[in-house]
A and B are shown apart, each in its own frame.
Chain A
Amino acid sequence: MGLLNLLFGLKSFTHGIHPPYHKDTADKPIRRLAFPSQLVLPLDQHIGKPAIPLVKKGQEVVRGEPIAKADGNFSVPLHAPATGRVRDLELMPTPKGPKSTAIVLDVYEGSTQEVLWNQPREMSELSREEILQAIQDSGMVGLGGAAFPSHMKLTIPPDKQVDTLIVNGCECEPYLTCDHRIMLEYPKALIRGIRYAMQASATTQAIIGIEDNKMDAAEVLRNNVSKGSAIRVEVVETKYPQGSEKMLIKSLLNREVPTGGLPADVGVVVNNVGTLAFLGQLLPLGQGLIERVITVAGPGIVKPGNYLVPLGTPVRHILEQAGYEGSRTEFILGGPMMGPAVSAMDTPITKGTSGLLVLNEPSIEDESQRIWPCIRCARCVKACPMHLNPSMLGLLAAKRKYDEMAQDYHLNDCFECGCCSYVCPSNIPLVQYFRISKAINREQAA
């Protein structure tokens, strides 16, 4: 691995895995799906405090209008993704698990669904603080999956020095191609968004990191940045989890984020290409985030593709439009490695959902194999990108020694990428154990 990379000059990190990528939808242009008749908009689509609703039952809203405001700094507002009438505020299922309060919107069928609410602004006149405020007002969060409020990410703590903005175009999860298509189709908006983000975070250079299975996207972006500009495009090895913040920083800059630290500790701030492309589009118009691109794919889907859908579209509607087959099917929101499976068809697409995968019989059979004892082959140790010891952690988890896992084996450095479970020949559900252990440790600390 190391030798090959040296030969080809490819940047990468150590460890990690090479799952089959299945990027079959990479050549499918972004298309808009028909509007559903009902949208479900949870108030807690982002990490942080849930938004405070501004609408009442029965109220009419127009597409783009704010329908919930941010609760303090660590929160973002929510905008109406379609013109319609508020049915009610109800408890609805979410991809996270427990039901949470959501604004349920009945969409007007006759409406042209034009964005009728906007406040155009001259971006070059804005100060750093004003840009950050504009980003918060747009309701933008990390569209890569974490749904962390973007203005918080671009706000650099006063005691830290940040010089580089890394633009994450790796999309290392199998199946997903929405970021790839965004880079191909919205390069101008992306470059604009990168400039806004650089202004907001006061960084002097920006690096767009792209895996080498998306050379066409790298080519398009290179043609869009002028020579000698502060933005440059770098190609990195195609490997999972290249798109994880810490891995990408290591690959591109050879800097290592300290344990328990943030990218800002090594002078870096990382943003996803989708996030920045939408920022580049929305900020000058003064609009809010009301739709996103998702990849609909998997062996069970009839019409796979990259679709632009309004936020709050129920999974059921997308499946009706794209069609699915198989008697036993599993629906996953996001990528197959880290995305959560959904158990209710009413679950809506939220700001952090990057895809909808449909797996059917053969792939599900693979998953439900019997669990065998650990044979200490150390494949998980070789796969773990954080250089942890998943085998030992797994044995401790089975004995419920959660304190020891955190104190002596750095459980909290695990970001649940799933490489260990993927390579384990004994089918030990290691990453599931770690998620449980981390949850129990969090509860006991609280």
Chain B
Amino acid sequence: MDFDIALNITSAILFMGILGLLLSSMLAFANKKLWVFEDPRIDEIESMLPATNCGACGNAGCRPFAEALISGEVAPAQCTVSSAEAISEIADYLGVDSGDVVKRVARLACAGGSHVARMRAHYDGLESCRAAAVVSGGPKSCTWGCIGLADCADVCDFDAIAMDRYGLPQVDSEKCTACEDCVEICPKDLFSIQPVDRRLWVACKNLQHGDTAENECEVACNACERCVKDSPEGLISIQNNLAVVDYSKNSLASPVATERCPTGAIVWLDDDKGAIKGIHAKRIVRKEALPM
């Protein structure tokens, strides 16, 4: 009896041992035979990248970007998410120039918060700009303006967008990675990705002119053309009752163009002070919402 058990156990151990040996030698053989060389630097660089796989660089994710870096197709600075230190670290590791890519951020072409933009109805439905926009263009009188129900803040993976007290999204340019998620979700197409050196900015999309525009929103562009006259020729033009800056002539831009704007729709974006309106822009002291 005891002998039988001992035999069973030994035979099992023997069998499994031989099987294991056989299979592991197959694996060892396959490992040698099928081994593909992969640049070890790819793993190394991937670990230095932020691993967000946001796609803002134009590649499918962080690993494809790392591969493109090794092959020299892209410069390290094209990763908009990494900090300056991380980029220089990668550049040092690869022994290449970090590249001088101007940082790009998402910008909102609307300044019509609740204290300046008139509402024409009360919206009482799904808390989403997309849903409100299909109900006859949203509750604001200005049907081009920001609805303020925070679809962009919801969709932002980097926590870069926060709604301010007037219901307008504020972009934190430190956190913004220019991934374009907010550009896609906004039903009014108010967001666009802009290099930070484009400082002259029209924060309005209203296509009406004169009092019609100003009655709807106190900071609307009323197509008065003062900015056109005050700036170098061709820099700003009025298209469909809206001032449009031609950024191919960006080097000519200066804060002078904003100075006589009566509503403050055109602003100069300063790194420290934020959006600066011209001195002739009407002052908005109201904090509470405009009456309907």
List the A side residues contacting B126 at CB < 8 Å: 429, 432-433
Residue pair B121, A344 in contact (C-beta under 8 Å): yes
Q: Is B143 an interface residue (CB 8 A)?
A: yes
Segment 139-175 of B: residues with Cβ below 8 Å from A: 139, 141, 143-144, 155
- Tell me the dominant secondary structure on chain B's binding face: loop
Assembly CA distance A432 to B151 (angstroms): 14
Q: Which of A99, A433, A435 lies in contact with B137, CB distance below 8 A? A: A99
Q: Which of A99, A342, A367, A435 lies in contact with B134, CB distance below 8 A? A: A435
Residue pair A97, B137 in contact (C-beta under 8 Å): yes
Shortest Cβ distance from residue A333 to the other chain B in the assembled complex, whole angstroms: 8
Residue pair B136, A347 in contact (C-beta under 8 Å): yes
Given contacts A344-B121, A436-B130, contact A98 B135 (CB under 8 A): no
Q: Which of A95, A96, A328, A432 lies in contact with B125, CB distance below 8 A? A: A432
Q: Is B269 an interface residue (CB 8 A)?
A: no
List the A side residues contacting B139 at CB < 8 Å: 343
**Nearest A residue (CB) for B131:** A432
By a beta-carbon cutoff of 8 Å, the part of chain B in contact with chain A is 120-126, 128, 130-131, 133-139, 141, 143-144, 155, 184-185, 187, 207-208
Q: Is A91 an interface residue (CB 8 A)?
A: yes
Q: Which of B128, B135, B143, B185 lies in contact with A341, CB distance below 8 A? A: B135
Size bracket, chain A contacts? 20 to 34
5 closest residue pairs by CB, A with B = A343-B121, A97-B137, A436-B130, A429-B126, A343-B136
List the A side residues contacting B122 at CB < 8 Å: 328
Given contacts A91-B207, A98-B143, contact A343 B134 (CB under 8 A): no
Q: Which of A342, A436, A444 lies in contact with B136, CB distance below 8 A? A: A342
Q: Is A93 an interface residue (CB 8 A)?
A: yes
Interface string of A365-396 (1 = CB under 8 A from B): 00110000000000000000000000000000
Q: Which of A342, A344, A368, A433 lies in contact with B124, CB distance below 8 A? A: A368
List the B side residues contacting A99 at CB < 8 Å: 137, 143, 207-208
List the A side residues contacting B124 at CB < 8 Å: 364, 367-368
Given contacts A340-B136, A364-B124, contact A97 B143 (CB under 8 A): yes
Shortest Cβ distance from residue B154 to the other chain A in the assembled complex, whole angstroms: 10
List the B side residues contacting A95 at CB < 8 Å: 136
Task: Pick 8 A–B contacts, CB within 8 A, sort by A.
Answer: A91-B208, A95-B136, A97-B136, A97-B143, A343-B135, A344-B141, A440-B130, A440-B185
Assembly CA distance A97 to B196 (angstroms): 33
Assembly CA distance A432 to B128 (angstroms): 10
Residue pair A97, B121 in contact (C-beta under 8 Å): no
Residue pair B131, A343 in contact (C-beta under 8 Å): no
**Nearest A residue (CB) for B241:** A91
Residue pair B134, A344 in contact (C-beta under 8 Å): no
**Nearest A residue (CB) for B128:** A436
